[in-house]
Amino acid sequence: MNYLIYLAHGPAELRSEALYSLLSYFRAAPVLPAQVLIYTDAPDAFRQVLGERPDVLYPSVTEAEWQAWRGSANMVYLLKIGVLEHAAAHYPGNLLFVDTDTIWQRDPTPIFEQIGQGTRFMHDNEGLLATGNTLSRKVYRHLKGHTFRIGAYQVQVTPATLLFNSGVIGFRSHEAALLRDVMQLAEQLYATYHKHMMEQLAFSMRFAVDGPVQEAKPYVVHYWNLKAVRPTLAALFARYQSASHEELLRRLDALGLPEVHRAELAYRNLAGWQRTLRKLTGRRWRMPAFEV
């Protein structure tokens, strides 16, 4: 069995992101390849838009479980690991976790087929930690030379350490023991250098122990850099919640988030002097004014 997993716990804006992602998934896959699992504290908000669907389930999670899943580091970023452990225990099969701020561009059926054959997925290979963006290089400088023990393994941050974006996580449920390793490593990384990306690095390092990781990027856009668009999405769903899925998608697509995501990312990746020059000449990147 295939399972597509979302985590939308907390702010209503996350539910709006998840709804857009789900609607894009229903459109991208002519024959839906997976049962959807939505881990949320507000299932009725999803039912208002999606209706009652036999292919969408809302696993029951207690407040104590939500808190425990934050780990000893008490980090919201670690909830993903707890959700995946719960899914692996209760819904055996091929698991594909997707962040809410995603838009499906292609049918994910081939991803599930590859997961079934033992391939593991993350969203995007961001390259070597040592030569990545400013934060990646800073993390590398703090962590290089440290040895971390996870289960039966010892891992180190080295010049060859690759960083993958964890907006997508895919693996088989019977491999779920690796999630304990990921949690253990993430907590050690947070204790060594407290940066939000440590969950992402922990998945990258643990998956690498067993072999290459495949990218889901050709299938799904992950607009992680557009947090400022969340109020617009929430306003759109509040205003048009009774509209058809086709109408909602038409209005959501009109925002052009994939293009905005790429434009902001291109600006973000400019050299520091280039960004400074653009600011001085009034050409700094700005979020478009969206109409709802």
Instruction: Convert the pLDDT of each residue in 163-220 to its tens digit.
Output: 999 999 999 999 999 999 999 999 999 999 988 899 999 999 999 999 999 999 999 9
Which of residues 193, 222, 251 is at a domain's end? 222
DSSP assignment of 233-259 equals: HHHHHHHHTTS-HHHHHHHHHTT-HHH
Closest CA to 173 of 112, 214, 98: 112
3-state SS assignment for residue 108: coil
| Structural domain contains residue 288 | no
Residue at 248 is within a domain: yes
Residue 290 lies in a domain: no
Residues of the chain above pLDDT 70, percent: 100
Q: How many CB atoms are closer than 10 A to CB 163?
A: 25
Residue 92: band (very low, low, confident or very high) from pLDDT cuts 50, 70, 90: very high
For residue 108, name the pLDDT band (cuts at 50, 70, 90). Answer: very high
Residue 95 CA neighbour count, 13 Å, CB half: 25
pLDDT, tens digit, 9 for 90 and up, residues 236-252: 999 998 899 999 999 99
Beta strand segments in the chain, E: 2-8, 35-40, 56-57, 94-98, 102-104, 121-128, 147-150, 153-156, 162-172, 214-215, 220-222
Residue ending a domain, choose from 200, 222, 244: 222
Clarify whether residues 116 and 205 are in a common domain.
yes
Q: How far is CA 255 from the centre of its chain?
A: 20
pLDDT higher for 106 or 265? 106
Whichever domain contains 134, its CATH number is 3.90.550.10
Residues 119 and 241 in one domain: no
Domain hosting 245: range is 227-280
Chain segment 266-287, per-residue pLDDT in tens: 888 888 878 877 888 888 888 8
CA distances from 266 to 25, 167, 197, 259, 262 (A): 26, 19, 20, 11, 6
Tell me the pLDDT of the chain averaged across its residues: 94
Examine residue 289 and state whether it is found in any structural domain, yes or no. Answer: no
Which candidate, 197, 146, 206, 198, places its Cα nearest to that of 177?
Answer: 206
Please answer whether residues 165 and 121 qualify as being in contact, where contact means their C-beta atoms are separated by less than 8 angstroms.
no
Number of domains in the chain: 2
**Same-domain pairing of 117 and 147:** yes
